[in-house]
Structure 1
């Protein structure tokens, strides 16, 4: 089975020899084996895990996305594609967990800074408008 994980600007993973895939959507955890029926689901914050034919376990944390499974020719093999905005690969779940938490914390800090800056700009614009309106009222009161 083939597994592809794609983001808007890059192919994160393109692996041919996948024996099994596990992921989680709003209804819970599910597995996909070669020959799985065609399937489409939306992923939230999820970890997509797969086992290679050689027995290696791999993982990819995704922040929202769409998983599509296509049976392929004759029901053998097939293809699973995950389209996501953000994906982080890792072979060890605990280190992946730490990496994801660090990234999310950094993202939250960036978002907080952006909100503060946007609020500063908004307040500066309101002050400028109030100054302009204040000048207009003073001019109107004189004349």
Structure 2
């Protein structure tokens, strides 16, 4: 099989010769072998595992998304994903990444609150000027 993991901004990986794939859905894990019927699955955040003769077992931490199998092609489209060969290192990398994204989100929310306050202050000042006419 040929596996592609697609992110909004780039192709994270593209591998041929994939012998098996294991992914997670809300109902549980499911496996894909080369002769499996075509299917579409909604993925939940978790670990996607695939195996090739050259690479052995490879892990991909994925956010929620969609998996599509059509013939020998398997495409996974997710918002965020990270590759790893060791689950412990992958977990640590995911935790670091999520922590950094949480900090960025907090900074963005703080900035937006400041902008909203400044906008409301200016609008109330303009209202005061309009009433004074």
TM-score by length of 2: 0.92
- Please say which of residues 113-122 and 25-34 is displaced more in the overlay: 25-34
For 1:75, the equivalent position in structure 2 comes to none
For 2:38, the equivalent position in structure 1 comes to 38
Note the 1:21-100 alignment, pairs <5 A.
Answer: 21-54=21-54, 56-70=56-70, 72=71, 78-100=72-94
Write the distance in 2 (CA, Å) between the matches of 1:43 and 1:102.
22
**Cα offset for 1:135?**
2.6
Runs of 4+ in 1 over 4 A off after TM superposition: none
Could you give the per-residue CA deviations for residues 18-55 of structure 1, whole angstroms, max 9, x where no partner exists? 11111101111111111011110111212110121357
Write the distance in 1 (CA, Å) between the matches of 2:48 and 2:62.
7
Distance change in 2, residues 1:16/1:129 (3 Å): same
* Partner SS for 1:35: coil
Q: What CA RMSD, in Å, does the superposition of the two structures yield over aligned residues?
A: 1.5
* 1:111 pairs with 2:111: no
Write the distance in 2 (CA, Å) between the matches of 1:111 and 1:21.
33
Write the distance in 1 (CA, Å) between the matches of 2:107 and 2:101.
10
What are the ranges of 5 or more consecutive residues in structure 1 without an aligned counterpart? 73-77
For 2:117, the equivalent position in structure 1 comes to 123
TM-score by length of 1: 0.86
Which of 1 and 2 has greater Rg? 1
What are the ranges of 5 or more consecutive residues in structure 2 without an aligned counterpart? none
* Partner SS for 2:35: coil
